[in-house]
Homo-oligomer: A and B are copies of this chain.
Amino acid sequence: MKLGVSPDTFPPRGHEAKRISIVDAAASVFCREGFAGANIDLIAVEAGVSRQTVYNHHGDKEKLFVAVVRDLTERCNTGIFATISTFPDQPRDLEADLIGFAVRMNRNCICNRDGKFLRKLIQTESERYPELFAEWRERGPGQTWPALAARFARLAYGGYLAIDDPDVAARQFLGLVNAELQTTFMLGGTPQDEEVLQSATNGVRTFLRAFGKRKAAATMEKQSMLANA
């Protein structure tokens, strides 16, 4: 039932541990019930602390909500940048490497607990906290899209892809790679590994049909490497 840090039977020890446990439980409850439906008592129980401790740490429900979104944004950003750092700059097998990257992106950033929660909170409550989610937009997509676009630009510069606008290409890449998961995402579900792989494979193939250079560069490089060996 409870995900992550704190089973109720083992109350978290230490000030910081409690803070994290509260934020985690709050994320879960806010997601399930929405801001209005979220019950502080339930959050407290789920975090394994008393209600008063929740108030001691975070003031009131609204401040707690803000803390949750900030925390999730930060953690998701970390994950996304970590994943972007695994982007195949010098691909051995472009198709396979891009599929692998797409799958990692999905599993580690979009389908994991933090990603699901943050996405749902954004969708659900963005109109109630415009400033908060404007902040998210800057620190989240505002940082990650350019980072990803830069990697595609490098791939194009290296002769692996024929791309006009790396920003557009980056967005289209993710759009393609997630094309078959949209309904599942809408319903808040988590796709099976198999579906993720399938969608990524189809997406990358289409992406390469549009932007690939017919493997000429890669093939020739591989051949020259073989020749050198």
Binding site for B on A (CB under 8 A): 32-37, 119-120, 122-124, 126-127, 133, 137, 141, 165, 168, 171-172, 174-176, 178-180, 182-183, 186-188, 202-203, 206-207, 209-211, 213-214, 216, 220, 223-224, 226-227
Contact = CB atoms under 8 A, between A and B. Distances in A.
Contact of A179 (B171, B180, B202, B210): B171
Given A203-B172, A216-B226, A220-B214, A187 B137 contact: yes
Nearest to A179: B175
Stoichiometry, as copies per complex, reads 2
Given A120-B123, A137-B183, A179-B171, A216 B223 contact: yes
Q: Which 3 A-B pairs have the closest CB atoms?
A: A36-B37, A175-B179, A34-B34
Contacts of A119: 186
Contacts of A172: 176, 179, 202-203, 206
Given A123-B123, A176-B176, A35 B32 contact: no
B214 A126 contact: no
Given A35-B37, A214-B224, A214-B227, A168 B202 contact: yes
A209 B171 CA distance: 16
Of A32, A127, A171, A216, which is in contact with the most chain B CB atoms at under 10 Å from its CB?
Answer: A171
Contact of A216 (B33, B122, B227): B227
A209 to B, nearest CB: 4
B182 A175 contact: yes
Given A171-B180, A176-B175, A206 B216 contact: no
A122 B186 contact: yes
A203 to B, nearest CB: 7
Nearest to A123: B123
Contacts of A214: 220, 223-224, 227
A211 B213 contact: no
A186 B227 contact: no
Contacts of A227: 214, 216
A218 to B, nearest CB: 11
Contacts of A179: 168, 171-172, 174-176
